Chain A
Amino acid sequence: MSFIPMFFALPLISAFLIPILGKIYKPLVWIVSTVVSFVLFILALYGIAVTQQLPMIVYKMGNWPPPLGIVMAFDSFSALMVLVISIIVFAGSLFSLRYMSHYTGQWKFYTLYMLITAGMMGVSITGDLFNMFVFLEIAAISSYALVAFGVDAEELEASFKYIVMGEIGGLTFLLAIALIYAKTSTLNLADISNSLQVVRHTTFFWMTLGMMLFAFSIKAALVPFHSWLPDAHPAAPAPISSLLSGIFIKVLGIYTTARIVFNVFGLTRASDPQFFNILIGLGLLSISFAGLTALNQKDYKRLLGFSSVSQIGYIMLGFGIGNYYGVAGAIFFILAHALAKGLLFLTSGSVVHVTGTRDLDKLAGLGEKMPTTAWSFRFGSLSLIGLPPLAGFFAKLLIIIGAIKAGFIWLAIIAILLSALTLAYLLKIESSVFMKKGKINAKGAPFTMRIAMVFLVVLIVLVGIGFQPIIDFVVGPAAHALLRGLEYSHLVFGSFTTNF
């Protein structure tokens, strides 16, 4: 039995076991989801280890060879995504024990939580376009429900907007899949990439790519497709905000874009500079527009939401630069931003849990009352700002080096200048919530919440200090997997014999 299907099978099975287990013994639901996410974390580490030896591991569902059956194609980039997903899911699950305790119907929450995990895992490892769509919708639909989980008016409205916009994206993706299927008669990514080379650079080619970029930009919440995110992410319960901002938008928006652009459509900066310039444009627009908007927010989580939009821009920028350093920087950024933003949303959760408000004007003086939360916030935001030696610094550094090596000095300069915005809006939270003197009744966050935050803080520091091995064994291979381009299909068809 290969370990590949475990990534989505485990959460999927537990998603359907949880309602039953919840009937037997209520605390089991949390235990199951935490244990499963921890097992996924271990599996993901194993996956990283395995991909050191083998560039591509193919799992054939029902043993049907591609392109007849559905395959799972697991390479270094998938391994990295799976690892990041499992980290955030695990931290969120730990955090949920106390945070979700005052909600009713907890088994529903954990069922949806496992479903969204299964969906994201599936997207990251699938080798089939339609299968990707299915997993994407599993994750998306679970996320619609999770955003509305509190069933207050605000949450329902946010969720409704999110559904409408998310499905515009989802259905456009489906339309693009239909068009591609009509033209190439196949849904296997590797096979599509072979067939598409015949129609390379035709209107059809660009049209379908544009539709997918459109769909994924909505999922990734790039400006101007971002407007659902600042409503939806704050409305969700904190562990879900952390999951959505930390990894969800990256799997559904960024991973898919990168995979399709580099490995399926086989574009490189050398051959198609104008397409990559569009990515750079989208990135810059997001960074500046959302960064400026974040400055003016009064809601803790809404500010963080805009910050996510702005930071996603850096990832797009990295891919848009398109050389090794740019792509590796973008991938490192996925990792660093997931850790940092996941952590920041968890701190918002613990603040809301203790004080009951997320209005920055009302919050004050929590630095002394909640030291763990305050210091977690500081570590998270310093990493996000890019302070060495934390994780975020090396991500930004790689992107800037990429920009310089590609000859875009102006881009490096703009990227550095715009990171002043990050400093500005995060200082706003720091100064009003944690630094400002004020009387507010609060006690420290519960133990499991603190454990979850400290777990992420430790990872941020470790990734920062150990950036060299991270680049050598995790990020670098992932970047190479993307930059292999069309070789992807040879690897998928060529690795029949591997038995992993």
Chain B
Amino acid sequence: MSTIIFGAEFEMYYLVVLVPIVCGLLGYLINRLRTEFNFLGFLLTLFYAIKIFLFTRTAVGVQIPATVFGIDFRFYIDSLGGFILLFNAIFAFLVWVYSLKAMSKKPRERVYYLYIAFILAAANGVVISGNLIFLLIFWNVLVFSLYGILLVGKKESSFAARKAITIIGVADFLMLLGIVILLAKVGNVNFPLQPRILLNDPWFITSYVLIMIGALAKLGTMPLHTWIPESAKVVPASTLAYIPGSLDKLLGLYLLLRISYYVFDLSSSMTLQILLMVIGAVTIIFMAAMALMQKDAQRLLAFSTVSQAGYMVLGIGTGIPIAIAGALFHMLNNVLYKSILFFSVGSVEYRTKTTDLDSLGGLGVKMPVTLFSFFIAALAISGVPPLNGFYSKWMIYQGIIELSGKIPLWFIFLICAMFGSILTLAYNLKLLHSMFLGERPKVLNKVREARFEMVVPSLILALACIVFGIFAKAIPLRIFVLPALPFEISEVGFWAPGLATILIIVGVIIGLIVFLLGTAMKPRRSRVFIGGEILDEEAARITGPNFYSSVNTLGMLKKTYDFGEGGAFDFYNHFLGIMRGLAVVFKDVINSLIVAFYKYIGKLIKALGSLLSALHTGELYNYVGWIFLGGIIILILLVL
């Protein structure tokens, strides 16, 4: 495991970067053969990624092709890198397959594929980089490709793209700063650093926090998340599945793990651990609450990805091996089911031309395959056993429970995480209901199942969700997650009669009960018209147990039924009264604070700028005055 091989097998390291670039460019230039080149490129990348992944099972690869100014341009790949690399390639491939139909005939389609390839190349580059400086170069390429791909969207996308590049750009500058400090203090930022840096020096703490900001911006946790919901309004679902949905999570968590446990030693600073956990917990709760309030499917999912990132940060922050493994596993799971959700919403949008939840409904019959994969994903993300989301969350809870005694008030984090699960279930049921179940607007009667190419990636991923759930220990944990981490995790027991198991089941049950009872207890009564004949109210009632039966009874009733306002969603009003309040508080207070912060910094700089340009009056004697003043100062400084 620890043998360092400068072997022949690892020499294909550069191909995972080179192949996507070359094939993407060829496809861009020779438009007629674009699909062929792209297919070749993504498939070859996947092939090399698998080879490297297999290589990293037994060895660690290091290559130093060049040394500049004493800094090695160093390639390094270990089992963590191999794992991330593999999933980078898999998701890029799936997104590409999905995009074939989803993006066809859309404006700027051609350049979209170029960006997908470039982003994959840069993401792979980040993973095979052997030190932080080298990593930063790829990181920057990624930022600019992100800016480009966000521009491929509706007309307003340039605003979202600008917002994204502002936030990520600032985070990147801070990260560069952190790396520079580290470089100055240590002189070497190669992975893995031996011995790891203890976080007890103010310089190191600053450096860690700055680099952490870069990683968190990529993961999209609060308060650096705002560009994700913003761009969700304007870019295609495939872009969302690709960037904030999968690659950003893979890379963000990769960097966070690298700096926390390979460069620095996070467990040496309890304060920083708690900081990370607080960021994670707050993100989970607030973003899930925000997701509940959304009326646009893409936007809802965007908030949901941010909320899920909170779990990963929480897990990393605990510093307990099992929770860290849980975070990594959760990241993998999240990428799986969140891609399904984005793909499904994209398929719905492809057929109906809208993602507005108010104008959707009852599509389950028309799009059964999409419904199936969406259903699986919705259960998985809510942490319903035996699907994969449950296991990873459970591992994180285990970690938090192990903290008891080490951190006062540890249970608050646990409660936040559990409560977040309940909210997740709630907003996913809302999404499920308002898209696939319930009443179907007449205009959607001619909707058909999405194209084959769009359905297959979701199905594959849904299958993965089930397999990773049922055989969690045997397949994903044993093959992917546990070997990728530098810890010894003795035994991941399941269904142990621990606090966590009970709590999670209680959480799921509460969520279901509230959801079902809420509908049953307080049915919405509305007048129903069918061709002027008044129907028995009993027949038109939607009861709790019959909630899903509306799928079967579709077409029988023709009601004028406003979805978003009440009916099936009435239960939100009492169940989520507090949450709505919290969301409002968040939106109006915290969000405006963040906005104000960005705004005033901008204003301050602008005011300074206008003050300085007002100094340039254009009057010669003024200018000559400055010159002489400056000259006198220089002479005084020199002569005295």
A contact residues vs B (CB 8 Å cutoff): 160-161, 164-165, 168, 172, 203, 206-207, 209-211, 213-214, 217-218, 224-225, 227-228, 230-231, 274-275, 278, 289, 292-297, 325, 387-389, 397-398, 400-401, 404, 409, 412-413, 416-417, 420, 423-424, 431, 435, 468
Contacts and interface: CB of A to CB of B under 8 A. Distances in A.
Nearest to A157: B618
A413 B623 contact: no
Contact of A416 (B176, B608, B639): B176
Q: Which one of A293, A294, A297, A424 has the greatest number of beta carbons of chain B within 10 Å?
A: A293
Contact of A161 (B66, B615, B620, B631): B620
Given A293-B616, A398-B69, A420-B173, A213 B610 contact: no
Q: Which 4 A-B pairs have the closest CB atoms?
A: A296-B609, A227-B623, A295-B609, A214-B631
Interface stretch (B179-187, B252-260, B581-589): B179-187
B556 interface: no
Contact of A295 (B66, B606, B615, B620): B606
Contacts of A413: 177, 180-181
Contacts of A207: 635, 638-639
Given A325-B69, A412-B180, 17 more contacts: A161-B623, A210-B634, A213-B634, A214-B631, A214-B634, A218-B627, A228-B623, A231-B618, A278-B638, A293-B609, A295-B606, A296-B606, A387-B144, A389-B137, A404-B180, A409-B180, A413-B180
B126 to A, nearest CB: 14
B476 interface: no
Nearest to A222: B630
A228 B173 CA distance: 33
Interface in B612-636: 612-613, 615-616, 618, 620, 622-624, 626-627, 629-631, 634-635
Contacts of B366: none
Contacts of A214: 630-631, 634-635
A404 B140 contact: no
Contacts of A387: 140, 144
Interface in B39-95: 66, 68-69
B637 interface: yes
14 contacts: A161-B623, A164-B620, A165-B624, A172-B631, A210-B639, A213-B638, A228-B623, A289-B612, A388-B137, A398-B69, A409-B180, A412-B180, A416-B180, A417-B177
A468 B184 CA distance: 23
Contact of B184 (A325, A389, A409, A423): A409
B267 interface: no
B140 A224 contact: no
A413 to B, nearest CB: 6
A224 B629 contact: yes
Contacts, number: 112
Contacts of B177: 413, 416-417
B169 interface: yes
A293 B612 CA distance: 5
A107 B140 CA distance: 47
Contacts of A404: 180, 183-184
B179 to A, nearest CB: 10
A236 to B, nearest CB: 17
B221 to A, nearest CB: 23
Nearest to B621: A164
Contacts of A397: 69
Nearest to B141: A388
Nearest to B68: A468
Contacts of A206: 638-639
B173 A416 contact: yes
Contact of A292 (B158, B605, B634): B605
Contact of A225 (B615, B626, B639): B626
B162 interface: yes
A210 B630 CA distance: 11
Nearest to A415: B180
Nearest to A277: B637
Contacts of B624: 164-165, 168
Contacts of B620: 160-161, 164-165
Contact of B634 (A278, A412, A416, A424): A278
A468 B65 CA distance: 13
A409 B173 CA distance: 15
B69 A210 contact: no
Nearest to B176: A416
Nearest to B179: A416
Q: A209, A227, A413 — which one has the most chain B CB atoms within 10 A of its CB?
A: A227
Contacts of A292: 605, 608-609, 612
A195 to B, nearest CB: 19
B170 to A, nearest CB: 8
Majority-rule SS of B interface residues: helix
- Residue from A203, A207, A295, A296 whose CB has the most chain B CB atoms within 10 Å: A296
A280 to B, nearest CB: 12
A296 B162 contact: no
Contact of B630 (A217, A401, A423): A217
Nearest to A291: B609
B600 to A, nearest CB: 15
Contacts of B612: 289, 292-293, 296
Given A387-B144, A435-B158, A417 B623 contact: no
Contacts of A230: 616
Contacts of B141: 388
A293 B613 contact: yes
A323 B376 CA distance: 62
A478 to B, nearest CB: 17
A248 B630 CA distance: 22
Contacts of A172: 631
A292 B616 CA distance: 13
A343 to B, nearest CB: 19
Given A209-B638, A412-B180, A413-B180, A224 B630 contact: yes
B622 to A, nearest CB: 8
Contacts of A218: 627
Nearest to A208: B638
A206 B623 CA distance: 25
B629 A275 contact: no
A207 B140 CA distance: 47
Nearest to B635: A210
Interface in B352-368: none
Contacts of B616: 227, 230, 293
Contacts of B69: 325, 397-398, 401
A64 B629 CA distance: 43
B108 to A, nearest CB: 12
Contacts of B638: 206-207, 209-210, 213, 275, 278
A481 B613 CA distance: 39
Nearest to A404: B184
Contacts of A431: 162
Given A404-B184, A412-B184, A225 B630 contact: yes
Interface string B163-191: 00000011001001100110110000000
Nearest to A289: B612
A165 B608 contact: no
Contacts of B605: 292, 295, 424
Contacts of A161: 620, 623
Contacts of B144: 387
Contact of B635 (A211, A295, A424, A435): A211
Contacts of B173: 416-417, 420
Contacts of B635: 207, 210-211, 214
Nearest to B637: A278
Nearest to B627: A225
A425 B132 CA distance: 28
Interface string B126-143: 000000000001001100
Contacts of B184: 404, 409, 412
B390 to A, nearest CB: 43
Contacts of B158: 435
Nearest to B636: A210
Nearest to A207: B639
